[in-house]
Amino acid sequence: METSAQLDKFDLLKTFFGYDKFLPNQEEIINNVLAQKDTIAIMPTGGGKSLCFQLPALALEGTAIVISPLIALMKDQVDALKANGISAAFFNSSQPYDKQQQILKELQDESLKLLYVAPESLPQVNFILKSIKISLFAVDEAHCISSWGHDFRPAYTQLNSLKKQFSQVPIIALTATADRPTRVDIATQLTIPDAKTFIASFDRPNLYLDVRPGQNRNKQILNFLAKRGTQSGIIYCLSKKSTEKLAATLNSKGHKAQAYHAGLTSEERSNIQDNFLNDQTPIIVATIAFGMGIDKSNVRWVIHYNLPKNIEGYYQEIGRSGRDGLNAHTLLFYSLADVIMLRKFAEGTETETYQLAKLERMQQYAEALSCRRKALLGYFGEHITEDCGNCDICKTPPKYFDGTLIAQKICSAVARLQEQEALGMVLDVLRGAQNAQVFDKGYQNIKTFGAAKDISWRDLQQYAIQLLNQGVLQIYFHENGRLLLTPLAKKVLFEEKKVRLANIIQEVEKVKTER
Ligand code: ADP
Ligand code: ZN
């Protein structure tokens, strides 16, 4: 039997948003918010986060305050709500004084169901918030509150007083950044220790994951396009110049392509976007500036001309294809020259160590010799046991040997080091290295010291990377990049789960020559 609250919920979904059913996790999240409980919602881009606070905003009494760092997107979101007959507004520093005053008045009059506010502008509306009924606070892109990440926004730190000031108002924090440290940090910073956390699956099974060496890229792309007619696709490049060069090359070969980057005027950019959305221009060659807020369902392929600087970016960009659920092909070109260039970009920045660690993980993904989806999902903390059958490695697997014993040794060393050490030290311990760092910490006395001394450093390192890619190990990026055991590692250690490894040196050579 349905309660009236459930009916209301579905009514709202249909009437205001035009949908018949919820996407995965939306309903559970909405129920929690409607029960006025604090919530942390982790969903991949395109997973439908907005509805999780927009619908409760309509169902609950009062005004919902949405804190969002993306000033550029606020207008679009508010326009979309208004078009659906919902009274909404946004407030940020880009607006003229008169407009701001008008919105403050609407807020005071309690005539808004939703108000989007930039975190920097929150102090300007705060005095009104104290005098009106607030239905909920939604903290969008909540990972910006974590000082570990590169998206850190200082203005987000003031949100730590929301709960104190408005103890009766439920908070919903939303993000697509799933790693556990970030999640914990969000709960701590927002002082919502009892928040219920919902994590939607990041799996997009319809995306084919393909990685190829970045040689003769233009030729490879032309071959790729030859089979794809006028399908829509996006090619991501690192620089403005290369987007323009590649677009010109494609056009000269009879493909309709346009370059898109931050150097164009906003008018030019919105023209290009429109052409892409209406299928006038099937191919966009873009820097990563392209795609934020783009919602085109039939993008059939995404190519990364250059290596992305981290897996989060890569995942978000490939995620712009196949939103309709039909098959899409994603192709990543991998070259060491790109790695070197990206390293240079990171050097000397405030978060250099963190960025370099993320880049290294990206590189390891590109070099993976086991199912790519396993690697990708493992990175986001989702551990699948079966290979996907829809990636290049699953299609053409390398030769594997039974690496269970090696895997057990590596996992056991990580465990004996209390998950406190990064890869280098773990390998030193396994190989019985006699160096100062090892002796300083007394690691020569632990049980796995020297347990893999018969394996060369390079092989052992590669095996450990394979365990990372198989989701058996994980890197804790927020500290020294120490290695952590995942639930799969526990199966390897205690349940005799078999692990397959590939003989790297041979395979890498094979990959270089054949793929
Ligand atoms: P996110 O913020 O997680 O990236 P959005 O909130 O922008 O995702 O939603 C992504 C897309 O999914 C939007 O086009 C949105 O209209 C659509 N969407 C959201 N909820 C539903 C639903 N229940 N059924 C169908 N489409 C939905
Ligand atoms: Zn696979």
Structure confidence by residue, pLDDT tens digits, 124-154: 999 999 999 999 999 999 988 987 655 778 8
Which numbered atom of ligand 1 lies nearest the CA of 26? 23
- Closest ligand (CA of 207): 2
- For 375-412, how does the pLDDT look when each residue is reduced to its tens digit (9 = 90+)? 999 888 788 889 999 999 999 999 999 999 999 999 99
Q: What is the pLDDT of residue 5?
A: 53
Ligand 2 is an ion; residues with CB less than 5 A from it: 371, 373, 387-388, 391, 394
- For 420-459, how does the pLDDT look when each residue is reduced to its tens digit (9 = 90+)? 999 999 999 999 999 999 999 999 999 999 999 999 999 9
* Dist. CA 398 → ligand 2 center (Å): 12
Instruction: Confirm if 479 and 185 have CB atoms less than 8 A apart.
Output: no
* ipTM of the complex as predicted: 0.97
Instruction: Name the strand (E) or helix (H) holding 411.
Output: helix 404-416
Residue 171: CB within 6 Å of ligand 1? no
Q: What is the pLDDT of residue 262?
A: 87
* Dist. CA 43 → ligand 2 center (Å): 22
* Dist. CA 66 → ligand 1 center (Å): 17
Kindly report the number of other CB atoms within 10 A of residue 105's CB atom: 11
Residue 296: CB within 6 Å of ligand 1? no
The model carries a pTM of 0.74
Q: Over pLDDT 70: what percentage of the chain?
A: 94
- Closest ligand (CA of 16): 1
86 token code pair: 């919902």
Residue 237: CB within 6 Å of ligand 1? no
Residue with tokens 């929301």: 162
Residue 50: CB within 6 Å of ligand 1? yes
Average pLDDT, integer, range 267-280: 92
Residues 6+ apart with CB under 8 A from 145: 139, 152, 153, 156, 157, 159, 173, 185, 186, 189, 190
User: DSSP letters of 145-212?
Assistant: G-TTSTT--GGGGGGGGHHHHTTTS-EEEEES---HHHHHHHHHHTT-TT-EEEE-----TTEEEEEE
**Test site for ligand 1: of 51, 201, 317, most ligand atoms within 8 A of the Cβ:** 51
Which numbered atom of ligand 1 lies nearest the CA of 295? 14
Residue 22: CB within 6 Å of ligand 1? yes
Amino acid at 349: T
Residue 427: CB within 6 Å of ligand 1? no
- Closest ligand (CA of 22): 1
Amino acid at 185: D
- For 183-233, how does the pLDDT look when each residue is reduced to its tens digit (9 = 90+)? 888 999 999 999 999 998 889 999 999 999 998 999 999 999 999 999 999
Residue 288: CB within 6 Å of ligand 1? no
* Dist. CA 203 → ligand 2 center (Å): 12
Separation of alpha carbons 110 and 392, rounded Å: 55
- For 162-177, how does the pLDDT look when each residue is reduced to its tens digit (9 = 90+)? 999 999 999 999 998 7
Q: Using CA positions, which residue lies closest to atom 18 of ligand 1?
A: 48
**Test site for ligand 1: of 12, 23, 294, most ligand atoms within 8 A of the Cβ:** 23
**Burial grade of 1 (CB within 10 A; 0-12, 13-18, 19 or more):** exposed
Q: Using CA positions, which residue lies closest to atom 14 of ligand 1?
A: 295
Residue 41: which of 116, 115, 140, 117 has the closest Cα?
Answer: 140
Amino acid at 87: S
Between the CA of residue 20 and those of 9, 25, 197, 215, 401, what are the distances in Å? 11, 15, 25, 47, 49
Residue 33: CB within 6 Å of ligand 1? no
User: Binning pLDDT at 50, 70 and 90, where does residue 479 land?
Assistant: low
**Burial grade of 434 (CB within 10 A; 0-12, 13-18, 19 or more):** exposed
Separation of alpha carbons 204 and 327, rounded Å: 10
Residues 6+ apart with CB under 8 A from 222: 250, 253
